[in-house]
Chains A and B, each alone.
Chain A
């Protein structure tokens, strides 16, 4: 199931996850996101620094979905081991949890980036400078007008070509670019990195429109009040308009967060071992694709509900800090 070039990344992720297993940070992350269960102990994940396990004491290592399936296969073959099916189930759960973690990671990287980039695109769109607003409109139009799947493929397969071009023109330029962004030969990046970036770049175009809606919904009189106080346009935008616009845009952004959690599965096509890829891998290896897809869908549902809860909490927090779209006049209150 793993694609060419993916093995190296799978190894890197494994190494990282193993390190996180050993130092307890993976356990903490899983726990924070409510993904912790005792099956983690079986594969050697620790919770916090207090509880350290020696690397030798760890359970079967995981090399993504395929290894999980392999281990499971071995266990099935070993009928003498009475607790084999149980440990296989635990291993599967751990693999699914790893996939879910990657999905959470993709979303957690892409959504904040998209929200911030979208804000700047929206501000670019309303800029009085024509070239800035045209560039913003062009970006938003192209990105919203082409399929995310095509964008993911295009970026993933174009980066090395771009790297070759840069190399052909100036090897030194490529080297300094690589030093800057940390890719390997000819601008090749780990799929997780490229995937998160594609999702962020795509969602930025949508968030730009949500932000624009928010900014345009700020009453005109707020601009006037800022100007009457002598604020410059930039100061008015930064201190008066954007803080209000973002609050108005929040429900839309939270809605898109929910979308992104599920759209993130598209990056599995470039070899990211996310929730869908892991489940599909296990399913194919064991001929349990429908079951594994139901499991994947269920975990997506749980993540999406968690995302909604997080978003609602964020909205409430912003509201609690005293936001009302129009100045309200509390009835009955007296000066």
Chain B
């Protein structure tokens, strides 16, 4: 956005090898507040690997990643099936000793329009599960939200809801990085689109 603000997330020269193959070869990425960056790429191009590295789940062979407050929403939400919606969202704030985890969880759920706090994940539709997963990340108040293939299991209505949710979040200053190969979704959600090819990101 403004040239004065520091990027929320900055990665440079990210290089990673998976299974003996150089998946990422010097990928650079910089995300500023409110941006919605979509990363497109063929299957196996290293999109998920990049997200995992940016979120700190995986290590990298070379390069630098800077940024804090990065939330990650995994494929199909990956909700905890044994916990209620509220418990899914409040678990991490509770374990991290944040104040009033239940209130945080309710705020996060309200932000994604979920009012079924007591439901179990399997009682929700795919789209609702996806939004609960977003709320689960939001409860930790991230600056950047990363989503891995958020629409892979969604019908068109739920996809539209996801687009709206991400737009609302970016209006609130929360940037998003979305990895997808759903082109129509990418066009609707992106403020900027990058393509991951040959291990590097290009506009």
Contact = CB atoms under 8 A, between A and B. Distances in A.
**Chain A interface mostly helix, strand, loop or mixed?**
loop
B21 interface: no
Interface in B99-138: 113, 120-129, 131, 136-137
Contacts of B123: 322, 330
A231 B91 CA distance: 9
Nearest to A333: B125
A222 interface: yes
B81 A244 contact: yes
A329 B81 contact: no
B126 A228 contact: no
Contacts of A227: 57
Contacts of B76: 327, 329
A240 B120 CA distance: 15
Interface residues of A, number: 29
B150 interface: no
A334 B161 CA distance: 11
Contacts of B84: 322
A225 B75 CA distance: 10
A32 interface: no
A324 interface: yes
B95 interface: yes
Interface string B65-100: 000000110111111111010000001100110000
A272 B52 CA distance: 58
B78 A322 contact: no
Given A230-B140, A325-B81, A335-B125, A239 B95 contact: yes
Which one of B124, B140, B157 has the greatest number of beta carbons of chain A within 10 Å? B124
A326 B121 CA distance: 10
A224 B78 contact: yes
Nearest to B139: A229
Contacts of A322: 81-82, 84, 120-123
B157 A247 contact: no
Nearest to A240: B80
Given A222-B80, A224-B57, A229-B92, A327 B122 contact: yes
A328 B95 contact: no
Interface in A279-335: 321-330, 333-335
Interface string A2-42: 00000000000000000000000000000000000000000
Nearest to B89: A229
Interface of B: 52, 55, 57, 71-72, 74-82, 84, 91-92, 95-96, 113, 120-129, 131, 136-137, 140, 153, 157-158, 161
8 contacts: A219-B78, A225-B80, A230-B92, A333-B125, A334-B125, A335-B113, A335-B131, A335-B161
What are the 10 closest A-B residue pairs judged by CB atoms, nearest first?
Answer: A322-B120, A329-B126, A333-B125, A229-B92, A228-B72, A225-B78, A335-B127, A324-B122, A221-B78, A328-B122
